[in-house]
Homo-oligomer: A and B are copies of this chain.
Amino acid sequence: MAAMEFKILKRDNSSSARVGEISTPHGSVMTPCFMPVGTSAAVKTMSPRELREVGAQIILANTYHLILRPGTEIIKKAGGLHKFMSWDGPILTDSGGYQVFSLAERRKVTEEGVHFQSHVDGSACFLGPEESIKAQEAFGADIITTLDECPPFPCEHEKVRESLETTLRWERRCKELHQEGESGLFGIVQGGVYRDLRERSVEALLETRFDGYAIGGLSVGEPTSQMYEIAEFTASLLPEDKPRYLMGVGTPIDIVECVWRGVDMFDCVLPTRNARNGKAFTPDGPINVRSAKFKEDFSPVQADCDCYGCRNFTRAYIRHLLNVDEILALRLLTTHNLRFYLQLMSRLRGAIAAGATEAFRAAFKEGYRRRESSP
């Protein structure tokens, strides 16, 4: 029996949006969903119970970071990633491919996999499809992903094509090794901004058959309009009955736009990283809480937000904490930003279920851009 299942609960009539439910060994996830990024077995600044409180259903962890520190063996000995980090909800792990190509040094790609130097201590490492799957299975993740090569942007058609063919061979090896009863396995669609390569990628992955499909290689520098276009095109090629995960995307508006285009799952470091830079998301657009204009602003970051930060603290207080380098500032802003993202997903699910996706999308974009266009 498959460890992961997906069912669609409601389809939107006027768009490709849908509400669904993914069941995993550690519980269910309503989609569209956003996965907070727990890079090294922790969502930065947050405790697991705070993640629950802001409404996180599932989190993501990075295989690349975990195999370097603390190492697969320690997580295995701890009884798996859930137990190690004390998070009992679903976990999705990436394959390590993206970070190997963005963080690691002296990469050498061969048919077997990637030789590289750790960005932490320069030690020689190797990650192939088998190593990635074995690590993710040792972690005990609920949803795991295939090893892929992520070409840069821009990149010539021929190079993206060659890279894609390597990725497709790696993905088949991942599928062969994968133990079906333990986790769901997602294939990753590559092909850059080239429609024919995206078609080729989807066609090959469908032949291999996966439990879900990730759209990789976007949000790597291409214009936003092109990202939307390729995400929409790729989503349209994917089977209705499997979840679609757009990797590393994005801003609140990106998420609204891509849910509308048929995407079910998202992850992004924006809410957590921006918080650590003093930035908060609001329905009127992002604000920089460090700004002097909030010096005596005794209102919460977002008046109608139900997060712990907004219920108890003011912009003036958080601005002060940022000024004196207090960690509590980063915690309160991370809490708020994650709540903002997760609340957005919940409202999107509500809008889709109510058949009001298009109205929600228009109203959200109108509100969100008001600040940017105001004098």
Contacts and interface: CB of A to CB of B under 8 A. Distances in A.
Nearest to A335: B47
A354 interface: no
A328 B45 contact: yes
Given A70-B316, A74-B295, A47 B328 contact: yes
Nearest to A319: B70
Nearest to A70: B320
A241 interface: no
A78 B314 contact: yes
Contact of A77 (B41, B69, B70, B296): B296
Interface residues of A, number: 38
B42 A328 contact: yes
Contacts of A332: 47
A250 to B, nearest CB: 24
A40 interface: yes
B78 A316 contact: yes
A317 interface: yes
Contacts of A122: none
Given A77-B296, A78-B298, A78-B314, A327 B44 contact: yes
Give the most central of A65, A84, A326: most B CB within 10 Å.
Answer: A326
Interface in A301-324: 308, 312-314, 316-317, 320-321, 323-324
A331 B327 contact: yes
A211 B55 CA distance: 48
B84 A317 contact: yes
A367 interface: no
A48 interface: yes
Interface string A76-94: 0111000011100000000
Contacts of A74: 295-296, 316, 320
A138 interface: no
A91 B357 CA distance: 50
Contact of A308 (B45, B47, B314, B316): B47
A331 B314 CA distance: 22
Contact of A85 (B40, B65, B298, B317): B317
B65 A324 contact: yes
B86 A44 contact: no
A350 to B, nearest CB: 29
A295 B75 CA distance: 11
Given A74-B295, A74-B320, 19 more contacts: A40-B320, A41-B317, A45-B327, A46-B328, A47-B308, A47-B331, A48-B312, A49-B308, A69-B323, A70-B316, A74-B296, A77-B296, A77-B298, A78-B298, A78-B314, A78-B317, A84-B314, A84-B316, A85-B317
8 contacts: A44-B327, A46-B328, A69-B324, A70-B316, A74-B316, A78-B317, A84-B316, A86-B313
Interface of A: 40-42, 44-49, 65, 69-70, 74, 77-79, 84-86, 295-296, 298, 308, 312-314, 316-317, 320-321, 323-324, 326-328, 330-332
